[in-house]
Amino acid sequence: MAELALIGDIGGTNARFALTDPTAAAPQILQEQTFTDARFHSLGDAARHYLEATHTHPVRGALAVASPIEGDDITLTNRDWSFNRGKLQQSLSLDGLQLINDFAAIAWAAPHLAAHDRLAIHGTVATPPAGPVTLIGAGTGLGVALLTGSTARGWHVVPTEGGHASFAPIDDEERRIAAWLRIRHGRVSTERLLSGHGLSNIDACLRGVEPVAAPAAQTGARRSKDIVDAALSGQDTAAEHALRRFCRIYGAVAGDAALLHGASTVLIAGGVVLHFLDFFRASGFMEAFTAKGRHADYMRRMTVQVITHPNPGLLGAAVAVRARA
């Protein structure tokens, strides 16, 4: 019987767990479960619950976590969870525990994504994608990673914290949004705009909601899901305008990342745009992506795709386990 390994994708909202057989012909995701509620006080609690529910006893694991992976003490960026690698490994009775950044996991998954796991926004879908590959995704936060190399030479994943780079507004409206966010947060990173909370911030600013300094609650702000639903209804011009501005900022930031990486392919991940793909494709995303002055033609030669695979983080964790097999 195959010796299964524990894999996980731990983000700011969802904690996903599954099992994989590292010796299988291709990366596998088995017995996947997603936990979104707040009943678990720690990553260890959630992982132990999964193992008890599946009646499994893996001897090693790989967890993708939304945090920089430095040292043994890890604190998630957008979730009130922290843990020690050694203590977590011991509590789960694992002989080995591999930790990777959540967007590094998506980069590991990229060469293994089938054509039907990606939707072309610009250019055509090639399998595997042509490198270098910029990966960027707005979800609870904003993830950025770089994938270099090829199938022949081997792929190399570079985790980054690019989502926390400073936001660069390009017109008066974006300068107004940046000023609003500066009152609320002080420094304005791109994640303050490109995330679920980011869409809420953009909408609140454009509707004239007065900013207050964090951590005070921002009264009058709408949830990102409500903004998307209102925008897609065609009955709320303010929501539609906020969502269109979100897409344009997304395009500009993704283009900047691709320029910095010298990318041939840009893969967009994260859960936000999957809720409004048709709107996203028709928005000003690509116009802002290519609006790089003398390098506009250079940008148009890049392929841009949205990852539609339901669990790319788990897939990447499965790939990482195989690399250690």
Residue with tokens 């974006």: 174
The sign of the torsion formed by the CA atoms of 259, 263, 267, 269 equals: negative
Task: Write down the pLDDT at residue 153.
Answer: 64
pLDDT, position 167: 98
Q: Which residues pair with 98 in a beta bridge?
A: 62
Q: Report pLDDT for 151.
A: 63
- What is the DSSP code (8-state) at residue 250? H
- The H-or-E segment that residue 136 falls in is strand 133-138
CB 5 within 8 A of CB 61: yes
Count of CA atoms in the C-beta half-sphere (13 A) of 25:
0
How many Cα atoms occupy the beta-carbon half-sphere of 269 within 13 Å? Answer: 31
**Pairwise pLDDT comparison (190 vs 214), residue with the higher score:** 190
CA distance 71 to 60: 19
Strand order in the sheet with 15-20: 30-35, 15-20, 5-10, 60-65, 96-101
Give the domains, in start order, of the chain with CATH numbers: 5-108+312-324 (3.30.420.40), 163-307 (3.40.367.20)
Are 286 and 122 within 8 A, CB to CB? Answer: yes
pLDDT tens digits for 189-213? Answer: 999 999 989 999 999 999 999 999 9
pLDDT the model gives residue 203: 98
The whole-number average pLDDT for the span 226-253 is 97
The predicted pLDDT at position 325 comes to 60
Q: Band the pLDDT of 38: cuts 50, 70, 90.
A: confident
Higher pLDDT, 248 or 2: 248
pLDDT for 233 beyond 70: yes
**Average pLDDT for 259-267:** 97
SS3 helix, strand, coil % of the chain, rounded to 5?
40, 25, 35
Owner of token pair 């994260």: 270
Task: Report the range of poorest mean pLDDT among 74-83, 147-156, 246-255.
Answer: 147-156
Q: Please tell me the predicted confidence (pLDDT) of residue 88.
A: 93
Mean pLDDT of 253-272: 95
The residues, ordered by sequence, that sit 6+ positions from 153 with a Cβ below 8 Å of its Cβ are: none
3-class SS at 81?
Answer: coil
* Share of residues in the chain with pLDDT > 90 (%): 78
